[in-house]
Structure 1
């Protein structure tokens, strides 16, 4: 079984990467986040590999981190989640964001992925609750802010900024995570407009 590839980036496709390992090129299907993290064509790269063998095919799935690979495996245990849907979820959510979404039962955040409808999103967050892969952290700042929002203890400017980001289409956990990082740097008394602007910058980075 292939667990990791170390080689040179031969080509990058819409959802695949071709890695040259000592003259042998391996095609790996990757999430959008992994493809963005890979170096340019001709440069050295490392991919963590999940190899799926079936009667009619052998396919490699490549990931930038062990955490992303672990989440891919875990997502595939949910009925209705195939490799394409799992990669779609990992294309929009980092392992940490996904861990937070599952912990907070934020089905809207998971439902932003291509191919994930409301029922499947609910099944994913329900079945995977408490099953964060080893080595993948939950954003403690996001959890604390989310708890404060639920209990009504978050400051008005922070609460308004979270609402604004959610209205722009971001998940509650994702918005909370971004603003928790902003508040840690800028302080809770930062004006709402600035929180939103910096929050969007965090979400796009």
Structure 2
């Protein structure tokens, strides 16, 4: 199986790119997010590849990051989600946005992807709730864990109140949850909502 391609861009189409690797052109189907970051024909490129083998075809799907490829694989484990739908979701939401949407059980965010209806979006957030990878970055595990608690209704009252307060101030729920996660890391899980709100606002102002 092909896991990665490193070469030069030979052609960029509406839904694919041809990567020249030592004279061999590989066609990799990509979402708009990946296509938008490609440098241009003749430029060097590295794509993380998922090889899909079926009775009637072998198709390569290319991604700019390994995290996007991991999500592409994971999404297809959900009932009713094939490569086309998974690629549409990846093209619409970043790995961080996907992790947040699943953790917060935000099916509306998932449904923003073309071809993803409310029922499929609901299945995605429900079936991946305990299997979704946290997005990379400082404090990612803490943030994802807190968001998962919020989505499952198991977060403590001070944490829930702090997130609600920041949301009422006009911040997106995902932003509020990330800020409160940073506040909890700094102040500890025993901090009251007032302190979490203050530290959350401090984190949002950085």
- Category of TM-score, reference length = shorter chain: 0.7 to 0.9
Deviation readout 1:145-172 (Å, 9 max, x if unpaired): 877998332486753423xx6xxxxxx5
Q: Residues 141 and 79 from structure 1, CA distance in 2 versus in 1: closer, same or farther, beyond 3 angstroms?
A: closer
Counterpart contact for 2:99–2:144, Cα < 8 Å: no
Which residue does the alignment assign to 2:55?
55
Mapping 1:76-115, distance limit 5 Å = 76-115=76-115
CA contact (8 A) 1:157 1:189 kept: no
**CA 1:15 to 1:140, structure 2 compared with 1: closer, same or farther past 3 Å?**
farther
How far apart, CA to CA, are the structure 1 residues paired with 2:164 and 2:108? Answer: 23
Residues 35 and 83 of structure 1: CA distance in aligned 2, closer, same or farther (over 3 Å): same
Whether the 8 Å contact between 2:7 and 2:46 is mirrored in structure 1 is yes
Uncovered stretches (5+) of structure 1, i.e. residues with no partner: 166-171, 199-205
Instruction: Answer yes or no: is the 8 Å Cα contact 1:99–1:136 preserved in 2.
Output: no
Displacement of 1:79 after TM fit? 1.2
CA distance in 1, matches of 2:96, 2:50: 20
- State the structure with bigger RCO (CA 8 A, min sep 6), 1 or 2: 1
SS at match of 2:34: helix
Name the CA shift for 1:40/1:176 in 2 (closer, same or farther; >3 Å). Answer: farther
Equivalences for residues 31-50 of structure 1 within 5 A: 31-50=31-50
Decide whether the 8 Å contact of 1:32 with 1:91 is kept in 2: yes
Does 2:4 match 1:4?
yes
**Shift in CA distance, 150/114, structure 1 to aligned 2, threshold 3 Å:** farther
Unaligned runs of 5+ in 2: 184-199
Q: TM-score, normalised by structure 1?
A: 0.73
- Once the two structures are TM-superposed, the CA of residue 133 in structure 1 deviates from its matched residue by 3.6
Q: Measured at CA, do residues 75 and 154 of structure 1 come closer, stay the same or move farther in structure 2, by a change above 3 Å?
A: closer
Please tell me the root mean square deviation across aligned C-alpha atoms, in Å: 3.2
> Which of 1 and 2 has greater Rg?
2
Task: Provide the rounded CA distance (Å) in 1 between the counterparts of 2:39 and 2:85.
Answer: 25
CA distance in 2, matches of 1:69, 1:159: 35
TM-score normalized with structure 2 length: 0.73
Cα distance 1:143–1:79, how it changes in 2: closer, same or farther (>3 A)? same
Aligned twin of 1:188: 201
Counterpart CA distance in 1 for 2:131 and 2:144 is 18
- How many residue pairs get aligned? The number is 180
Partner secondary structure for residue 121 of structure 2: helix
Aligned to 1:152, which of 146, 151, 161? 161
**Partner residue in 2 for 1:22:** 22
Is this contact kept in 1: 2:166–2:176, CA < 8 A? Answer: no
